[in-house]
Amino acid sequence: MKELRTQVAIIGAGPAGLLLGHILHEQGIDNIVLERRDRPYVEARVRAGVIEYGIAKFLEENGVGERMLRQGLKHDGVELRFDRTSYRIALTELNGGKPITVYGQQEVVKDLIALRVGYDAPLMFETEVTNLDGLTTDAPFIEADTPDGKVRITCDYIAGCDGTFGPASKAIPASLKKQFDRIYPFSWLGIIAQAAPSTEELIYCRHERGFALYSMRSPTVSRLYLGVPNDEKLEDWTDDQIWDELDVRLATEEVPHITRGPILEKGITTMRSIVIEPMRYGRLFLAGDAAHIVPPTGAKGMNLAIGDVRELSRALIAKFKKNEDALLESYSDTCLERVWRAEEFSTYMTQMLHPNPTDDFENGVQLARLRQSVKSPGATETLARNYVDLNSL
């Protein structure tokens, strides 16, 4: 087995792992990023689309924002549509001039990979981590299968940025770990289409037939979602049926039909919440989806992951540069306070925007919550602040 040594071993080349690796590299802290998939797969994976103001600033401050600033779409508002009426939330105005940025997660990942390849730091694709050990010693190690055989990497710290199904969180002993789970009774059928968006800003829509979201990736590419039952099969939906249902749910008198075009990608994502406590075990630190999942209704997934990296990078830099442990010691509690706030906001947005086909009382409560969110100034401001900058509040 090939032996390697580094200061920080990072499992996963999603936004969390790649950004952590980049920030540590910039500080002269050796690290290796290990990714089980190949580069084309990771760069093509379509996921999040909204970047919070403070998170975009953090990316920019760390030299990852050049293309985002050029190609990302700055948005000053978002629309809630229900009771066949549209209500605009003036995000920037309610946040002291701070907008959101619409820029696909896969673009952030491409930018981070390009940086890492550019300065030739270790980024091992098609390398699956199979074991983490020595986590409570001062020489933890990971073992992985690579295209050239097995490798063991000894390090000072391990960052588990391996998403929901990765091995890192499973390395925390069950007796020391709590996992909080919620599965929602619906999923999102999402499409990416070569079609100029019929709207300037995102539209979150609660229609009696179900949820719909109108987002975008560029002036010529739309990103749209339909709330569907959990057992829905993608093959049961033709492209026309998807467009027709989007029309029904999103139509208004002014815009009776949304712009259609070739569907480039489609998929169904389950809606779930997960929180794992603690986010640390000995020399192992979890960041991103490895530690938590939020339903995408609040657009918090990637923002939360980058929020964790902001904490973990600060903590590791303090340790390596000044031999200070305080931020490492407080990492889990600091992150979990923010994670639970994101879970609360994502649950709030999810519960009020997805009609319940079997519970009219629940539907009544949802509509009351939606009406309050657009008619009560305090509720509107809270929604705007959480949507734009939750991870930096």
β-strands 221-229, 210-218 pairing: antiparallel
| Euclidean distance between CA atoms 363 and 353, whole angstroms | 9
Task: Kindly indicate which of the ranges 83-91, 161-169, 249-257, 335-343 contains the residues binding ligand FAS, using the contact rule CB under 6 A.
Answer: 161-169
CB 350 within 8 A of CB 362: no
Alpha-carbon gap, residue 64 to 313, rounded angstroms: 15
Choice from 10, 12, 237, 312 touching ligand FAS (CB under 6 A): 12
Q: Does 128 bind ligand FAS (CB under 6 A)?
A: yes
DSSP letter at 258?
A: P
CA distance 10 to 158: 6
**Interface with ligand PHB includes 296 (CB under 6 A)?**
yes
Nearest to 213 by CA among 269, 285, 297: 297
Q: Which of residues 47-76 bind ligand FAS (CB under 6 A)?
A: 47-49
> What secondary structure letter does DSSP report for 136?
T
> Could you tell me the smallest distance in angstroms from the CB atom of residue 13 to ligand FAS?
5
**CB 130 within 8 Å of CB 145:** yes
Beta strands in 71-156 (DSSP E): 73-75, 78-82, 85-89, 100-102, 123-124, 128-133, 141-146, 149-154
The verdict on whether omega for the bond into residue 295 sits within 30 degrees of 0, i.e. cis, is no
Stretch that binds ligand PHB, among 26-34, 43-51, 157-165, 166-174 (CB under 6 A): 43-51
The catalytic residue positions are 75, 204, 296, 300, 387
User: Is residue 302 involved in binding ligand FAS (CB under 6 A)?
Assistant: yes
Give min distance, CB of 145 to ligand FAS, in A.
9
C-alpha–C-alpha distance, residues 26 and 192, integer Å: 34
Q: Of 20 and 191, which has the nearer Cβ to ligand PHB?
A: 191
- The yes or no reply on residue 380 touching ligand PHB (CB under 6 A) is no
Q: How far apart are CA 180 and CA 157, in angstroms?
A: 26
Residue 223 is a binding residue for ligand PHB (CB under 6 A): yes
Which of ligand PHB, ligand FAS, none does residue 17 bind (CB under 5 to 8 Å by kind)? ligand FAS
Of 101, 187, 215, 313, the residue at the interface with ligand PHB (CB under 6 A) is 215
User: In the set 8, 10, 15, 112, which binds ligand FAS (CB under 6 A)?
Assistant: 15
- How many chain residues bind ligand PHB (CB under 6 A)? 9
Among 301, 349, 350, 380, binds ligand FAS (CB under 6 A): 301
Work out whether 49 is an interface residue with ligand PHB (CB under 6 A): yes
Shortest CB 15 distance to ligand FAS, Å: 5
Residue 16 binds ligand FAS, judged by CB under 6 A = yes
Question: Is the separation of the CB atoms in 375 and 80 below 8 Å?
Answer: no
Of 95, 106, 297, 366, the residue at the interface with ligand PHB (CB under 6 A) is: 297
What burial class does residue 136 get, using C-beta atoms within 10 Å of its C-beta: 0-12 exposed, 13-18 middle, 19+ buried? exposed
Other residues' Cβ atoms within 10 Å of the Cβ of residue 318: 15
How far is 334 from 265, CA to CA, in rounded Å?
Answer: 37
Rounded-to-integer distance, Cα 367 and Cα 45, Å:
34
At its nearest, how many Å lie between ligand PHB and the CB of residue 361?
A: 26
According to CB under 6 A, which one of 9, 50, 284, 336 is a site residue for ligand PHB?
Answer: 50
Could you tell which of ligand FAS, ligand PHB, none binds residue 191, using a CB distance below 5 to 8 A set by kind? Answer: none
Candidate residues 246, 275, 299, 305; the one interacting with ligand PHB per rule CB under 6 A: 299
Binding residues (CB under 6 A) for ligand FAS: these are 11-17, 34-37, 42, 47-49, 105, 128-129, 161-163, 166-167, 269, 288-289, 296, 299-302, 305
Binding residues (CB under 6 A) for ligand PHB: these are 48-50, 202, 215, 223, 296-297, 299
